[in-house]
Every structure is written in C-alpha cells, then in structure tokens.
Chains A and B, each alone.
Chain A
Amino acid sequence: MVMGRLYDLLMKDYRLREGLNACINCGTCTAVCPAAEFYRYDPRRIVDIVQSKDEEEIEKLLRSDTIWYCGECMSCVTRCPRKNAAGLIIMALRNLSIELGYFIESEKGRQQFLLTKDLCSNVLDYGYCVYPRRFDYAGHPEAGRVWEWEEKHLDDVFERLGGNLDGPGPGAMRRIPQEDRDQLKAIFDETGATERMEKVRAAGLKKAAELGMTEEEFSRMVYFTSDPKHLNH
C-alpha cells in the first residue's frame, strides 16, 4: 500500500475538505451522536483515524461496519468546537468504500445494494425519492393501521386531501412528466450515479453468488439481518 493513497483519495472529496479541520479529540461529537448511543460507534475515533492519515487504519474503516452506523443527522456539526463535521467525513468514507468495492464486505455496508436499487429507481421511475405506491404496509408495519387503510384506498385518500396522485399538472405526488424524468436520467448518466448503480449491483450479485444465494435470498438477508454485535449494550 502506497502511503497516503487512501487519504489522498478522500481529500478529493469536497465533503472531507469541508468537514476536516483540526480535531482536538474532545469527544463532543460522540457525546451528542444518536448513533453512538445505539451502536458501538465513536465518531471521535473515526475523525482521529482519518486525521492521522494511517492507511492501514483507514482501509480497515472502509471495509468495516463502523462507517455505516451514522444516521447523517449532522448533530455533530453544531457541537464541534473546532468546526469539524464528522457526518461529512463519514459521507466521504462511505463514498470511497463504494468506489473501491469494500462496502460489500460488511453487513451494514452491503445494505447499499438494496438502498441504491430502491431509492435510485424511485428517482428515475417517478421523480421522487419516496413514492407511496412503493411504500407497502407489509414491509413497513410500523406505518400503522392507518397506513394499512391508506394503502388500500390511496387514490381516494389523496383525492380527499387535495393531492394529485399520478395526475397531470402540479400538486402533491403528481405524475412528473417524462421529459423531466429523462433529464434526471441524463444527469445520472453524466455525473456518475448510473455507473454507481451498476457497480453496487454487480458487487451485490457477485457477493450473492459467493454465498450461494439467489438475488431474492440475498436481498432478504440484507434487508432483515442485524447482528447484535453492532449494538452498544
């Protein structure tokens, strides 16, 4: 491993350049972090590793579950006395982990397989990140009996509430014209999102094959699995 290679790659990411100033290791970010309370997670340590430029430790991070624990709420940004942004550093680490294909090695990292497939297809197919016809009660029982009812009567509920579900013209959950969705696809193609989607999918399918699973079996495992080892207690 060439010294500084990973650090140099990270520094190409604007989020790292914005997010890493001079960490004084005070641990305020960890104290306020919602993820650090739930997971065995310490953003202070992550910022310190990146700041140290220790290639071996950075590579371990990129291959680990650790960088996937953050919820990107950015509460750390407000509190840091030195204006670091642990959340942005995490985003840069995740980006590099995906670029290098390391994400597929950890349980939490390989969740990108489903996240990328679902969220990007929502954006490209409908023009929205979240689309109610794809938000099913069976997959989201916490959405409550009220959502179970709404799901059965989605068109009527939207009509009652002044929405425009899949309708023409403006309004809530309108059908976004094809020409606009074509522009989103062109943006995806030009800016690396399409390539990212293909890369993540290929890595996921390769991993599924290694595990002797079909895509569906692999998807189910990724969606449901959470090893208790991640938890803070």
Chain B
Amino acid sequence: MIYEGKQKIWADYQKEIPDDHYFYVRSCIRQSFFPASEATFLDITRNRLGKDIFETEHHTTCGGIAYHSDTIPQETVMTIIARQFALMAKNGYENYVCSCITSFGLYCETMETWREFPELEAKIRENLWKTCKLDFAKPKFLIHASDLVYKYRNLIAKQAVHKLVNVHTGQPLRVVEHIGCHYSKMFPSKGVGGAEYPYVLVGMIEAWGGEIVDYPERRHCCGFGFRQYFIKGNRGYSISNTHKKFESMEPFHPDFIITNCPGCPYFMDRWQYVIAESTGKTYGKDGHGIPVLTYEEVAGLVMGYDPWDLGLQTHQVGVEPLLDKMGIEYDPEKKYLGKGGKDIGQPEPCICMK
C-alpha cells in the first residue's frame, strides 16, 4: 500500500497493542483517589473480556512523582523501574501495562535513554543485581492501560448497556478529551495518534456513541506541575492552568470530560470546586460543574456498572446531570453508603456548586 500525506503521518503514530497477557502495575494517584477505576479496569478486562492481566503485590511506585519533583536522582528511578521490569520477567510476562501516565512517560524515557546510552542500562543492571539480586528484561510491549481500553473499545461497545447519547434528545453527548501530558508529548510515537492528534480517548468516545469537542486549549496541561501542587505556596500555578482550560472549553458546552492520566481528573474536578466556591463561577448548567471522569469510569457506565460501584460519589463535581442525560438509573440514597449499606455519613454540601 502506498501512503500519502496525512495517511503517512497517521501511520507513523499507530501503535501495536497486543491483545492479551499483560503484567499490570498500579498508579499511586489513581489508587489513592480513584481506587474503583483500577478495580473496574481489572473487572472489565479479566471478567467481562476474559483477558489475562496479572498483578503482583510486590510491585511498588515507579518513583515518578518523586523524580519529577526533583527529589531523587535519575539513576534511582531507573533502578526502581528496572526492578518492576524484573518482576514482570520473573512472572513470565513480556507485555507491560501501567495505570499511570507519569509512569508511562518515564518508562518511555528510560527505555529511550538506555537505547541511546547502553552503558547506562548496564549500570542500572548492575545496581539492580547489587541491591535486589534481580535481573531484568525490557518489556516487549509497553502499554498504558488506556491503550488497552482503546484496543478493546469495540468489544466494550458490543456489551454496551448505555451509549454516550442524550436519551432525551437523541443527540451524541459532547465530550472533552484530556490527554495526560506525559502520555505522548515527550515521545509522540509511543502514543496512539501521537501528541498533536492523540486518538486513544477519541476512539473510545466515538465507539461508544459520543461526539468530541474541539477547543483552543485542548492540549494545555491540567496544571499539576508536581512541585507546583505539592507546595501550598505554589498552587496558584495549578489552579491557573485548570482555569485557563475551563474558560476555553466553556463556550462549547461539553457534557463531560474524559481523561487518561490519574492526576488530571483530580485537578480538573477539584479546581472547578475551588473556582466555584471562591468566585461563584460554575462551568456546567444551573450551578453544576462539568463532570470529569476517568476512562475506566466511562467504560463502566457504558457497560452498565452502578455509578456508586465506580466511585463517582468521590468526585467533588456531581455526576448526576450526566447520569440523567445517559438515562442511567441510580439511587441517591445509596450514594455515600459503605459496603453492605453501612452508614458512613456524607460530605458537607458545597456553598456554590451543586
């Protein structure tokens, strides 16, 4: 086949994603703030689609947040990563799938640096043996968990209970997709669709019936900035960037936002709350915010999971307007109940944001 023009460019950004047999590593932020998202990913892939996704309790953080906050040397983070790779090989896997975008970017950076500087890879191998008596093999395929859901998007669509369609109007839901910066901004060829036109989330939305919203600041960072959030005096950086994105998307009236980075949904959800409570401004209709979901949560809604099993009650921006549009039934009385219906109270109400 002869590729021309845009076809050729597009072909450069296709990514081979194996169908099955993955070693899974979790994300520090996703586990902390969206534990149900990781549970849903594993339930969909293992139990609904019958895939082999293996997890060991012995894996740890990749160290990425500490590294990008400049608190540990590059050699340290690379040796931690090598240890993760060693666990993959030890358990008989070649395909590596990670939940975190910071991790994904860092794995790409590490593999690329080792390719350019083989002596560094040799040093890391030596470090790992000296400290852990482990040897590592590099993954044959390095995949982000959103790549895998993208790969399975049509299988998920076949099992869909709900579509990304407004049941009251019959129109597709209007969706903002926000890609984590470290997914493909550093290594465009490692992400589905590259950095300019990443397709990983767009593909899911299209397959599940929604419509993508384009807006000027679509590729702008959510504003995490590592040290720019962890230190309280720096947090103006973080909220300012989220604010910029929301001001830019507001005129396009998105129904919700889908994200593939674990940090972005936290910041875009929580900073909307702060903007609302400090200025009275909300970006959804009638005092509501714009719900910000992980791709696992969106897949779960499409497949008919209960919204409260997906953890949507732990978002500060209420998701009920979205559930109503999709025609999803839910019990408001059960929103904040613990396991087995245990009463564990509920959050205090917001002043401005519904």
Contact = CB atoms under 8 A, between A and B. Distances in A.
Interface of A: 13-15, 17-18, 34-35, 37-39, 68, 70-75, 77-78, 85, 91, 94-95, 98, 108, 111-112, 114-116, 118-120, 122-123, 127-132, 135, 139, 142-150, 152-153, 156-163, 168-174, 176-177, 179-181, 183-184, 186-193, 196-197, 200, 222-226, 231
Contacts of B248: none
A128 B60 contact: yes
A93 B231 CA distance: 20
A170 B280 CA distance: 43
B55 interface: yes
B75 A224 contact: no
Given A120-B66, A177-B57, 18 more contacts: A34-B220, A34-B221, A34-B225, A95-B74, A111-B233, A115-B227, A122-B66, A123-B72, A128-B28, A149-B347, A159-B338, A160-B337, A163-B31, A163-B35, A180-B58, A186-B131, A191-B79, A226-B236
A152 B338 CA distance: 13
Interface stretch (B178-186, B249-257, B323-331): B178-186
Contacts of B57: 168-171, 174, 176-177
Given A142-B271, A161-B35, A193 B73 contact: yes
A187 B76 contact: yes
Given A130-B29, A187-B131, A148 B70 contact: no
Interface string B176-198: 00000110011010000001100
Nearest to B313: A146
Contacts of A171: 57
A75 B195 CA distance: 10
Interface of B: 26, 28-33, 35-36, 38-39, 55-61, 63-66, 68-76, 79-80, 83, 105, 112-113, 116-117, 120, 127-128, 130-132, 181-182, 185-186, 188, 195-196, 219-221, 223-228, 230-237, 239-241, 244, 269-271, 273-274, 309, 311, 313-316, 336-339, 342, 344-350
21 contacts: A14-B117, A71-B224, A72-B68, A74-B182, A98-B70, A119-B65, A119-B230, A120-B72, A123-B63, A142-B273, A144-B316, A147-B316, A149-B336, A159-B338, A161-B35, A161-B36, A161-B311, A162-B309, A173-B31, A190-B79, A192-B73
B294 to A, nearest CB: 12
